[in-house]
Chains A and B, each alone.
Chain A
Amino acid sequence: MKSYIVGIYPRSPKLIEATRVNDPKLSELFKVEKAKYMKIIKSKLTYVSDPMLEWNDMFRPFMNVKGISLGALNRFFETNTFYRKLVISDELKGYGNVIANNINIVKNKSAVSIADPYTFAELNENLYYKSYDEYLLTISKMLNKEAKKLAEEGVVLIQLNAPAIAYNAERLDNDKLALIKEAIENVKRRVSAKVYLHLYFGNITKIFSKLLDIRIDGLSIDLINNRGDDIMEYSMKGKGLTLGMIDAMNTRIEDLKIVKSIEKIIEKMNPSEAYLSTNTDLEFLPYEFALKKINRLAEIAKRVKYE
Chain B
Amino acid sequence: MSENKFVTQEIGSIRKPKWLLTILRSEEIDAIEKERARDDLAYLNTRILEDLGLDIVYDGEARRVEMYEYPIRNIEGFKFAGLVRSWDNKYYKKARCIDEVKYKTDYHLDEFKFVKRIAKNQLKIPVTGPYTLADWSYNEYYDSKEEFIIALAKNVIKPLLDDLVKNGANIIQLDEPAATTHPVEMNIFKEAINECIKDINAKITMHICYSGNEYRVLMPYLNEIKVRQYALEFANRDSWELGVNDDVRKGYSILKEFKEHGFDGEIGLGVVDVHIDEVEPPELVRDRLLYASKFIDASKIYVNPDCGLRTRSREIAFEKIKSIVKGVELARNELK
Contact = CB atoms under 8 A, between A and B. Distances in A.
A27 interface: no
A284 interface: yes
B266 interface: no
Interface string B67-99: 000000000000001111111110110101000
B83 A286 contact: yes
Interface residues of B, number: 23
Interface residues of A, number: 27
Contact of A286 (B81, B87, B88, B140): B81
9 contacts: A73-B87, A81-B85, A81-B86, A250-B138, A251-B138, A251-B140, A286-B84, A287-B82, A288-B81
Contacts of A20: 89
B163 interface: no
Nearest to A80: B136
Residue of A16, A84, A250, A288 with most partner-chain B CB within 10 A: A16
B139 interface: yes
Contact of B82 (A13, A80, A250): A13
Interface of B: 81-89, 91-92, 94, 96, 135-136, 138-140, 178, 181-182, 210, 212
A31 interface: no
A252 interface: yes
Contacts of B94: 286
B85 A10 contact: yes
A78 B92 CA distance: 17
Nearest to A290: B82
B86 A284 contact: no
A83 B87 contact: yes
Nearest to A285: B84
Contact of A82 (B87, B140, B182): B87
Interface in A265-283: 283
Contacts of B86: 80-82
B210 A283 contact: no
A75 B136 contact: no
A299 B11 CA distance: 48
Contacts of B178: 80
Given A80-B136, A251-B96, A75 B83 contact: no
Contact of B88 (A10, A56, A252, A283): A56
Given A16-B83, A80-B135, A251-B96, 15 more contacts: A13-B82, A19-B89, A56-B87, A56-B88, A73-B87, A81-B84, A81-B85, A84-B87, A251-B138, A285-B84, A286-B81, A286-B82, A286-B83, A288-B82, A289-B81
Contacts of B88: 56, 84
